[in-house]
Amino acid sequence: MPDIKVTPLGAGQDVGRSCILVSIGGKNIMLDCGMHMGYNDDRRFPDFSYITQNGRLTEFLDCVIISHFHLDHCGALPYMSEMVGYDGPIYMTHPTKAICPILLEDFRKITVDKKGETNFFTSQMIKDCMKKVVPLNLHQTVQVDEELEIKAYYAGHVLGAAMVQIKVGSESVVYTGDYNMTPDRHLGAAWIDKCRPDLLISESTYATTIRDSKRCRERDFLKKVHETVERGGKVLIPVFALGRAQELCILLETFWERMNLKAPIYFSTGLTEKANHYYKLFITWTNQKIRKTFVQRNMFEFKHIKAFDRSYADNPGPMVVFATPGMLHAGQSLLIFKKWAGNEKNMVIMPGYCVQGTVGHKILNGQKKLEMEGRATLDVKLQVEYMSFSAHADAKGIMQLIRMAEPRNMLLVHGEAKKMEFLKDKIEQEFTNGETTSIVTNPSVPVDISLNLLKREMALGGPLPDAKRPRTMHGTLIMKDNSLRLVSPEQALKELGLSEHQLRFTCRVQLHDPHSDNDTLGRIYTHLKRSRADIQHCCATGVPRSSPGSWTFPEPGPTLSPTSLRYSTVLSK
């Protein structure tokens, strides 16, 4: 029986370094290749040793698919392709291909140029890696080779994010990456057709959460920011450069305009201009409202939000600063946090998920003293608020996707083990990194049926064809030119240039009977004749005429001579 094997090399039961290996129909596909925000050592990258025991990855993998540009899904890509060794195709959407190298270079600068780490990929490696990328269009079926095909679906989440269907023959897997089933101010909701895959691999970041209405969250967010600014405090909003940043910028820009507020809003990354450029370039990936109003007004050209200079962090008075990265694990957001953490007037609003081990995760868990680099201790006195603007599906959204796709099996990844318990009835097996889960499939083999055979079956009577009630058909199966056809025996003989043959099957039966041979043969003949008449009567009327007779013979003894009988029948065709 064919099976599908799933081996997480990362994000099996945590969030970070997403890397899922799927083996289907003899093909090996790597889904995402991310890094972990909570580690600064070898654990930040997936454990590729599991699949490099027999040489380079090129010999093992048929393709790599990247769902979107967040570093926990693509951050290890140059390391995997250029340092571990992979020369095969890497598939991602056009926006992901455009934005991914910018974020990878930004990540490299922080890690190598600022932290001075070695054994890390270079700028040239990023460029060489991106040369292997094959761009995907939504709903376009791409033939990787003669047997393997992939198809991308809109995932929401961030610009260019895609869910991917993988098919080999009649077996299929859908991998969601990160997705959002709720439309927001700049992106639409994820969508997939009723593809009924053998396996749906879904993220489960918010498996235990059912969010309140988006309008309530936006109102609470604006209220917190406004109150802090009114009392002269500073608001730090750690975000990733693209995604929630644009969502919250649109929200604050509209509110500042409506309320005529004067407090400055800054965005602390040089990626802002590039981000806006990509949103213009890929406007078709945004929601309907932005596409409709784009000609009159570009929502990503902000009047009230200016570029941030690090010297502004010491300026007196209120301000709002969007700073990267989003989990306070490094970069500008952590530097600003260190400066503002000691003032009770200030506030940090965490708008998304924080991986365990990051500063963001620690302060959300109420930690008031943080051990920083060099064993320095930081007192956290500012207010800490968590407001989920994360563009991940909640429990309700995951269930909605299941109803959409109607998978035969379900696996949850990219979540915490305890939260996965909430949806355990949807999982065939629980697994952690390095363990393999096998899904047994029942592949269907498509067969064309000749019109003549269908007409003949209909002429025989019986119920009309019903898709929900399988019906047995008798014919000859012909395999020709990689296709299967069911035709009538006469048509098969004609097409194949064969003549009809008869096979005679003979069965020898030995009886012991005290009567003479002629008497015994007469009794058998009479019995068979009567049985044949009963069968004909039963077929004609549907009612048995008499109960079938039976023979009884005495136990064979020394006085009985064996009588050998031969029974023959002819089978045609």
**Tens-place pLDDT, residues 226-251:** 999 999 999 999 987 677 788 888 89
Judged against a pLDDT cut of 50, whether residue 290 lies above it is answered with yes
* Distance separating alpha carbons of residues 77 and 208, to the nearest angstrom: 30
With contact defined as beta carbons under 8 Å apart, do 282 and 159 qualify?
Answer: yes
Residues facing 171 on adjacent strands: 168
Task: Quickly count: other Cβ atoms within 10 Å of residue 512's Cβ.
Answer: 14
Higher pLDDT residue, 556 or 337?
337
Residue written as token pair 């019903």: 466
Backbone angles phi, psi at 14, to 5 degrees: -150, 175
pLDDT per residue as tens digits for the range 367-421: 999 888 777 889 999 999 998 787 888 888 998 999 899 888 888 899 888 888 7
Would the pTM of this model clear 0.85, i.e. be above it? no
Judged against a pLDDT cut of 50, whether residue 563 lies above it is answered with no
* Distance separating alpha carbons of residues 116 and 26, to the nearest angstrom: 42
- pLDDT category at 175 given cuts 50, 70, 90 is very high
Q: Compute the average pLDDT of residues 65-75.
A: 94
Task: Quickly count: other Cβ atoms within 10 Å of residue 359's Cβ.
Answer: 24
The two three-digit tokens of residue 299, written as one number:
């929502």
The two three-digit tokens of residue 518, written as one number:
């002629």
Q: Compute the average pLDDT of residues 208-232.
A: 88
With contact defined as beta carbons under 8 Å apart, do 351 and 59 qualify?
Answer: no
Of 59, 117, 147, 203, catalytic: 203
Active site residue 457: no
Residue written as token pair 């080779």: 145
In whole numbers, what is the pLDDT of the chain averaged over residues? 83
pLDDT computed for residue 559 by the predictor = 39
With contact defined as beta carbons under 8 Å apart, do 92 and 135 qualify?
Answer: yes
* Distance separating alpha carbons of residues 404 and 351, to the nearest angstrom: 28
**Helix H or strand E encompassing 501:** none
Residue written as token pair 């209220």: 223
The two three-digit tokens of residue 99, written as one number:
């934005």
Residues facing 8 on adjacent strands: 20
- pLDDT category at 453 given cuts 50, 70, 90 is confident
DSSP 518-541: HHHHHHHHHHHHHHHHHHHHHHHH
What are the strands of the beta sheet with 19-24, ordered from one edge? 133-136, 90-93, 63-65, 27-31, 19-24, 3-10, 437-440
DSSP 28-78: EEEE-----TT-SSGGGS--GGGT-TTS-HHHH-SEEE---S-HHHHTTHH
pLDDT per residue as tens digits for the range 471-507: 777 888 888 777 888 888 888 888 888 888 888 888 7
**Helix H or strand E encompassing 232:** none
With contact defined as beta carbons under 8 Å apart, do 16 and 10 qualify?
Answer: yes
Written as one letter, the residue type at 31 is L
* Distance separating alpha carbons of residues 179 and 201, to the nearest angstrom: 12
pLDDT computed for residue 548 by the predictor = 44
> For residue 316, what are the contacts with CB-CB under 8 A and spacing of at least 6?
none
40: Cα within 13 Å, side-chain hemisphere: 12
Judged against a pLDDT cut of 70, whether residue 41 lies above it is answered with yes
The closest of 143, 157, 159 to 202, measured between CA atoms, is 157
Q: What is the dihedral of CA 341, 342, 343, 348, to 10 degrees?
A: 10
Mapping DSSP to helix (H, G, I), strand (E, B) and coil, where does residue 43 land?
Answer: helix
Report, in angstroms and rounded to the nearest whole number, the Rg of the chain calculated over CA atoms: 35
CA distances to 514, 521, 571 from 557, in Å:
10, 20, 37
* Distance separating alpha carbons of residues 263 and 462, to the nearest angstrom: 80
